[in-house]
Amino acid sequence: MDKSQNKAIKRVCNLCEAMCGLTFEFNDQGSYTIRGNKDDVFSKGAFCPKSQGLKDLHEDKDRLTHPLKRINNEFVRVSWDEALDDIASRINSIQKESGRSSVATYIGNPNAHNFGNLMMLPMFFKALRTRNKYSATSVDQLPHMLVAQQMFGHQLLLPIADIDHTQYLLILGANPAVSNGSLMSSAGLSTKIKRLKEGSGKVVVLDPRYTETASLASEHHFIRPGTDAFLLSAVVKILLEKPLKIGHVDSFTRGLDGLKELFADVDINMVSSVTGVAVSVIEEISRDLSASETAICYGRFGVSTQAFGTVCQWLINLINILTGNFDRQGGVLFTKPAFDVVSLMAKSGSKGSFNRHRSRVRNLPEFSGEYPSATLADEILTRGEGQVRAFISIAGNPVLSLPNGQKMEKALESLDFYVAIDIYQNETTRFADYILPPSSSLEHSHFDLVFNVLATRDTIRYSPAIVEAGKDSMEDWEILIELWSRIGHSMSWMQKQQRKWTLKAMRKFGTDGMLDIGLRIGPYKGLSLRKLKAQPDGIDLGALKPSLPGRLFTRDKKINLQPNPLLDAWRMFRSDSQWHKPRVDHGEFLLIGRRNLKSNNSWMHNLPSLHRSKDQCFVIMHKDDGEKLALSDGSQVRLSTDVGSIDLPVSLSTRIMPGVISVPHGWGHHRPGTRLGLAAQVPGVSLNDITDDTQIDGFSGNAVLNGQVVRIVPL
């Protein structure tokens, strides 16, 4: 179809969780501009600068458009059939020689925005039958999902903040004014936060840095990095000492008895000393959470990626339950998506698992079939039975996104075979034997399978292709299905026939066919893809509503307040030495990350509309700390830990807690062998060249990226 004949095409942005509705306006020459869609049922015209990156990404001269094979340390173009046949042959050979788990996989967070991949990956993994599966989950939201699985019976049954109707919002470890919401998908969050504060509501931010969100809030209080679990435990203790108003949830909870005794010895004064938050502030927060007509305690990336991230997410759920704000409008609720992947997973027996088996090298627990990504390099580098020899990455850049990136580089270099499904020759894929590039996201339809589960309102929208697909191009899921059709040895005749039938069905129906089936069997009767396509602005399914106990997936249809595994995590937390002494010595600093509105993923640094000629990769430090080190704005410093060091300029500020420094993630484009021309002009340095991969949440194995100790030396 000639898109130049269309005056406008409506589509949803897939570059972050906000799901902003966009309008692609075409002129007579076929070029287009991107604007916010004011009629979109979810975003109402809200959009951010990242949306312009969709066009840049499609047109980027560095984006790969055909398969590449490494020959004599150079990448050369090969045909799809040659690449797919050779890859399957080598994977089959390695697994036959060294076992199924000698092949490891890693999937990056763009897969969460890819409907086709989300549908195809489970079948692809089933064909590989490897235990060595890894993803960005364990450097991000793993504690959220683990706690949901333990308390509510399903890993994707995540409570969503009803920010549109609340009176009080407490934010920890999150900067939604920049992230546009995370596990709280909601376009235009800055406007909503301002509206809440300017009305009769209150917004309180606890963060080691005075963030963009803090500037919109009613109050901001500094909190020492990595200590959120201490503060949250104090809030729970205070709530339990007063009459509770749990509300209707009380009839389907278990574990309330004995909860007060569990928190009885939490010392509020000691919590204040550890966190740096005054006792009066802790008491006021507890009082406001309890007294407000509706209230939300919301914690995200910053509280998950710390030493007690699992405990943090458990305590946040307890707070929302104990204040009567669980499964309640204005509090936190579960969504009812039209394509109900939560229920479909449950029916197939895939509600999540934990600790069924443990990793070979560091004995870390699996979660939902994956090992913590912090040990991926160990499994590649450590010799012996079960060593990983081959690797498949799908839309991921673990050299920049996993802790101890330099160790990851050594691991990738040592592999016998590496296949990357990716659009770029980046810091990770430069080590690949094959790079298989999928088509641009604008060349095929789009549907948000995951983020509709995490949205602050139930809506549904379909995004058609914007431009014609390139000749000889393949979508991500088509690459996976072609590999799947070739991978596997020692298969029975019946297994081969089942695969043949499945392949035929997948190729016939495609992603749109799968979407149509999901809508027809979903909770909204009469809904179909045809009806959805007829509504280019989407269909509004309504505000989030109470859904319990029916939405629970626990065996007894009750919320488990004290699952035994989470009690184990609590005991680990209570025995931590931080209760008795500080974590840092004189001259050391606590490290936190930082996110930029135009810098969600590392590959965005190669897009002209999101590019900044001025270096955005600098360390923010309190000016008093800078004066002690005789530093001024722009001074070069060296940050070092036991795993490495990085050099970068310093920016002095009073908008950060003394003793804390902040460095953005996703940079480090100076490495040889990449093909990211624009990003290389302002390369920055990688935060993960100094983060220690041995520092993890001791219970879940999630990586600690918040609160690691670093040393600073002026250069």
pLDDT of residue 1: 41
CA dihedral 402, 405, 408, 413 (to 10 degrees): 140
Task: State the amino acid at position 320 in one-letter form.
Answer: N
Report how far Cα 371 is from the mean position of its chain's Cα atoms. 16
Residue 710 is predicted with a pLDDT of 97
In this predicted structure, what is the pLDDT of residue 2?
46
φ/ψ of 560, rounded to 5, equals: -95, 105
Give every CB contact of residue 145 below 8 A, 6+ residues apart in sequence.
137, 155, 156, 158, 352, 367, 368
- Alpha-carbon 439 to chain mean position: 23
What does the alpha-carbon distance between residue 171 and residue 212 come to, in Å, rounded to a whole number? Answer: 12
- Report the alpha-carbon distance of residue 148 to residue 346 in Å, rounded: 13
Exposed/middle/buried for residue 668 (C-beta within 10 Å: 0-12, 13-18, 19+): buried
Is residue 567 a contact partner of residue 365, using CB atoms and an 8 Å limit?
Answer: no
Q: Are 438 and 474 within 8 A, CB to CB?
A: yes
DSSP for residue 628 = H
Tell me which amino acid residue 189 is. Answer: L
pLDDT at 506: 80
CB-based contact 455:160 (threshold 8 Å): yes
The answer to whether the beta carbons of residues 293 and 286 sit under 8 Å apart is no
DSSP letters for 636-679: EEEEE-SS-EEEEEEEEESSB-TTEEE--SS--TT-TT---HHH
Alpha carbons 586 and 628: distance in angstroms, whole number: 12
Q: Is 97 exposed, middle or buried (0-12, 13-18, 19+ CB in 10 A)?
A: exposed
**d(C-alpha 479, C-alpha 490), whole Å:** 23
Inter-CA distances, 494 with 86, 297, 380, 501, Å: 25, 52, 34, 11
Rounded to 5 degrees, φ, ψ at 19 are: 55, 50
Q: 4: part of which helix (H) or strand (E)?
A: none
Looking at residue 707, the DSSP 8-state letter turns out to be: S
Token reading at 687: 């935060």
Residue 536 Cα distances to 282, 464, 485, 529, angstroms = 47, 9, 35, 11
Amino acid at 269: N
Full set of structural domains in the chain with CATH: 3-59 (3.30.200.210), 68-140+340-541 (3.40.50.740), 142-336+549-574 (3.40.228.10), 585-714 (2.40.40.20)
Taking CA atoms, 190 is separated from 147, 180, 212, 595, in Å, by 28, 8, 9, 15
Q: By CB neighbour count within 10 A (0-12 exposed, 13-18 middle, 19+ buried), where does 265 fall?
A: exposed
Which DSSP letter does residue 242 get?
S
Instruction: Please check whether residue 478 is in contact with residue 140, taking contact to mean a CB–CB distance below 8 angstroms.
Output: no
H/E stretch holding 333: strand 332-333
Q: Kindly report the pTM of this predicted structure.
A: 0.96
pLDDT reported for residue 578: 73
Q: Which residue ranges in the chain fall short of pLDDT 50?
A: 1-4
Question: What is the Cα–Cα distance from 602 to 619, expressed in whole angstroms?
Answer: 18
CA-based Rg of the chain, rounded to a whole angstrom?
25
CA distances from residue 544 to 163, 336, 366, 449 in whole angstroms, order as listed: 11, 8, 32, 17
Neighbours of 614 (CB within 10 A): 6
Beta strands in 566-615 (DSSP E): 588-592
**Strands 74-77 and 68-71, sheet pairing:** antiparallel
Report pLDDT for 6: 54
Q: CA torsion sign, 489 to 491 to 493 to 495?
A: negative
Residue type at 545 in one-letter notation? K
Return d(Cα 649, Cα 633) in angstroms, integer: 8
Residues pairing with 592 in the sheet: 662
Structure tokens at 103: 């092949």
Strands across the sheet containing 202-206:
219-221, 202-206, 168-172, 296-299
Residue 361 has a pLDDT of: 98
Cα 673 → chain centroid? 27
Q: What pLDDT does 582 receive? A: 59
Question: b/e map of 406-439 (b: 16 or more CB within 10 Å)?
Answer: bbbbebbeebbbbbbbbbbbbbbbbbbbbbbbbb
Round to the nearest angstrom and report the end-to-end CA distance of the chain. Answer: 59
Residue 118, pLDDT score: 95
Q: Give pLDDT, residue 585.
A: 75
* Cβ proximity of 153 and 553 under 8 Å: yes
CA distances to 48, 473, 573 from 22, rounded to whole Å, are: 10, 25, 45
Distance, CA of 521 to chain centre? 28
- Residues 426 and 413: beta-carbon distance below 8 Å: no
